[in-house]
Amino acid sequence: MKQEKVAPAEGKLGIMVVGCGAVSTTFMTGVLMTRKGLAKPIGSMTQYDKIRVGRGSEKKYLHYKDIVPLANLNDIVFGTWDVYPQNAYQAAVYAEVLKAKDIEPVRDELEAIKPLKAAFDKNYAKRIDGDNVKDCKTRWDMVVELKKDIQDFKKANKCDRVVVIWAASTEIYVPYDEQVHKTLSQLENAMKADDREHIAPSMCYAYAALTESCPFIMGAPNTTVDIPAMWELAEKTKMPISGKDFKTGQTLVKSGFAPIIKTRSLGLSGWFSTNILGNRDGLVLDEPANFHTKEVSKLSTLETICKAEDQPDLYGNIYHKVRINYYPPRNDDKEGWDNIDIFGWMGYPMQIKINFLCRDSILAAPLLLDLTLLSDLAARAGRYGIQRFLSFFLKSPMHDFTKGEEAVNNLFQQYTMLKNAIREMGGYEADEEID
């Protein structure tokens, strides 16, 4: 066991959020309110979780910040890009996620957070219709302007470090293309050639962030950093990347519930998941091309937990279906309904139904806090490239599929990976194995 050398978390940490909608403003408001002692950052691992370090008689349970040097909430500065020009206060009020009493005390600070013009292409999100948009001729122009945004923000706010996190809409599905997405030079060429079919705007954000020495996190199901070209860039810039898709409602439950079935050697014949949601996320997903991106992201969860090849009697014939439905009456109050068909002793069938009345932004907000703080930590620890230990927070965790790596979707295995990384960065021994 070697002690990792982690640079201290000194100075200001800029968090630049792509998208200034319900999720982003709930995140920002909560951090600002917490700083004033007016709210509690429930759901945040970096603020609440305690993990065991040491073994046997040496063991103790510590908060993350007592194991590794984490940025303090007081050192955070927020920036954002959005296609709508409303400031974070206006956006928070519009989102109708938080009550007035939970926003008003930090109104001034929120009003000061004004969205930079977004790098946007309407073909990637047809239902979105804002005009606070950069006027760029090519994808490469987008990159150039975004890099300048980051530099300006950093300077203006005297930030020592910046993290960029995507909390904007789901783009249409961009399948992996070996001619464009494999190497960094291919990617750069395509950007310069303005290949709009293969280069999503989100890729320009990621490229700009990494080349400006900012960790990048993909919170939507976009495949932005799920390509070898980006991994190459992360290696080159020595920056951490992670994604994709914040693990909130239904998939969170699925990644925790499937292990219950698996752990008891019960059989599984079907899992039907349906979802109703009414916020802008739902509106975008109502467009089939955007839904497809989401569906690909959500479907993988189950099969990697209950594996047919390991237990053919139990998991050899699972019918898994995921439906997402735009349903405006609910706004941000997402609701999932799962029907799970299991079977037990002698093959007798049983059913489980889970109805989750959740709130999208309330579940997502602490993930933004944890992902940015831990990405910043990883950067300071010299850990770059794909951050598998952040799988815990993500619906469809990154993994190097070119090397045959598999995603880890089991919530409890992901938690072990998270704990092990914290332990190691803190100079403690990890539990090497996750099962």
Nearest distance from C-beta of residue 25 to its own copies, angstroms: 12
**Toward its own copies, which CB reaches closer, 18 or 368?**
368
Contact positions with its own copies (CB under 8 A) in 91-150: 98, 102
CB of 19 to its own copies, least distance (A): 17
Stretch that binds its own copies, among 112-120, 289-297, 358-366, 373-381 (CB under 8 A): 358-366
- Phi then psi for residue 84, to 5 deg, are -105, 140
Among 3, 36, 61, 112, binds its own copies (CB under 8 A): 61
365 binds its own copies (CB under 8 A): yes
Asked if 50 touches its own copies (CB under 8 A), the answer is yes
Instruction: Specify the pairing of strand 116-117 against strand 240-243.
Output: unpaired
Q: Does 311 bind its own copies (CB under 8 A)?
A: yes
Q: Is 358 in the site for its own copies (CB under 8 A)?
A: yes
Tokens for 424? 């190691």
Query: The dihedral of CA 81, 82, 84, 88: what is its sign?
Result: negative
- Please tell me the distance from the alpha carbon of residue 100 to that of residue 96, in angstroms, as a whole number: 9
**By rule CB under 8 A, what string of x and - marks binding of each residue 25-44 to its own copies?**
-x--xx--x-----xxxxxx
* Minimum CB distance to its own copies smaller for 98 or for 377: 98
Q: 266-295: which residues touch its own copies (CB under 8 A)?
A: 266-267, 269-270, 272, 274, 276
Nearest to 387 by CA among 254, 247, 235: 235
Least Å from the CB of residue 416 to its own copies: 9
Helices (H) and strands (E) in the chain, counts: 14, 13
Task: Pull the structure tokens for residue 18.
Answer: 């792509």
| Distance in Å, CB of 400 to its own copies, minimum | 19
In the complex, minimum distance from the CB of residue 261 to its own copies, in angstroms, rounded to a whole number: 9
Residues 317-356 that bind its own copies (CB under 8 A): 319, 321, 323, 325, 327-330, 335, 337, 339, 341, 343-348, 350-356
Q: What share of the chain is helix, strand, coil (3-state, %, to 5)?
A: 45, 20, 40
Cα separation, 47 vs 428, whole angstroms: 20
With respect to its own copies, which residue has the nearer C-beta, 119 or 324? 324
- How far apart, in whole angstroms, are the C-alpha atoms of residue 246 and residue 19? 14
Comparison of 213 and 339: residue with beta carbon closer to its own copies: 339
- How long is the chain? 435
Distance, CA of 97 to CA of 332 (rounded, Å): 7
**Across-strand partners of 275?**
324, 336
Tokens 């090849």 belong to residue = 309
Can you list the alpha helix ranges (DSSP code H) found in 74-198?
A: 88-95, 107-111, 139-156, 184-192
> In this complex, which beta carbon is closest to its own copies, that of residue 36 or of residue 158?
36
Residue with tokens 């509690």: 40
Q: For residues 93 and 144, which CB has a smaller minimum distance to its own copies in the complex?
A: 93
Site for its own copies in 375-414 (CB under 8 A): 411-412
CB nearer its own copies, residue 316 or residue 427: 316
Q: Specify the residue, 166 or 315, whose C-beta has the smaller distance to its own copies.
A: 315
Q: How many residues bind its own copies (CB under 8 A)?
A: 83
Comparing CB distances to its own copies, the nearer of 277 and 379 is 277
Q: How far is the CB of 281 from its own copies (least distance, A)?
A: 17
258 SS3 class: helix
C-alpha–C-alpha distance, residues 88 and 21, integer Å = 8
> Following CA atoms 333, 86, 140, 184 in sequence, which dihedral angle do they give, to the nearest 10 degrees?
-30
DSSP per position, 387-418: -GGGGGGBSS----GGGT------HHHHHHHH
Which C-beta is closer to its own copies: that of 164 or that of 365?
A: 365
Provide, rounded to whole angstroms, the least separation between the CB of residue 97 and its own copies. 8
In angstroms, what is the minimal distance from the CB of 304 to its own copies?
A: 15
Q: Given candidates 118, 220, 253, 425, which one binds its own copies under the rule CB under 8 A?
A: 253
308 touching its own copies, by CB under 8 A? no
